[in-house]
């Protein structure tokens, strides 16, 4: 049986989803939109909107983005979508430019002659 997405979410992720869900709800109410009207404009179902507003992490990303677009909240993701917002990633990119780190990941470090040895 497949586990639900919510079982993989950390408490921090759940808290962030709940906050984002509250922001979507407040944006809907500020525009004086019913659940059904807002959901229709976002091209999602009313039950999906309910789940979003509760911060359900199992809802697909496309539904979150559609609701945020309809509520004029996409600007909240602007910082996350810039390369410099990821400090660790920025540092790693700078190291690559200087040639201190290899350019891509390797699939295996085991020599070919060792791959045929079954030592178990």
Q: Which CATH number fits domain 5-71: 1.10.260.40, 3.40.50.170, 2.60.40.1180, 3.40.50.1820?
A: 1.10.260.40
Reported pTM: 0.69
pLDDT at 15: 96
- Tell me the C-alpha distance between 82 and 90, whole Å: 10
Encode pLDDT of 71-120 as tens digits: 999 998 888 777 777 777 777 777 777 665 555 666 766 555 555 555 55
pLDDT at 36: 97
């Amino acid at each position: 049986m497949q586990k639900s997405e919510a079982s993989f979410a950390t408490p921090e992720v759940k808290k962030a989803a709940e906050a984002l869900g509250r922001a979507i709800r407040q944006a809907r109410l500020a525009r004086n939109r019913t659940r059904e009207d807002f959901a229709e404009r976002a091209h999602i179902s009313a039950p999906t909107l309910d789940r979003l507003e509760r911060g359900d992490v199992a809802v697909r990303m496309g539904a979150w983005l559609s609701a945020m677009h309809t509520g004029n909240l996409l600007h909240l993701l602007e910082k996350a979508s810039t390369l410099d917002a990821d400090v660790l990633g920025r540092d790693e990119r700078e190291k690559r430019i200087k040639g201190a780190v290899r350019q891509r990941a390797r699939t295996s470090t085991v020599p070919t002659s060792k791959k045929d040895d079954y030592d178990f």
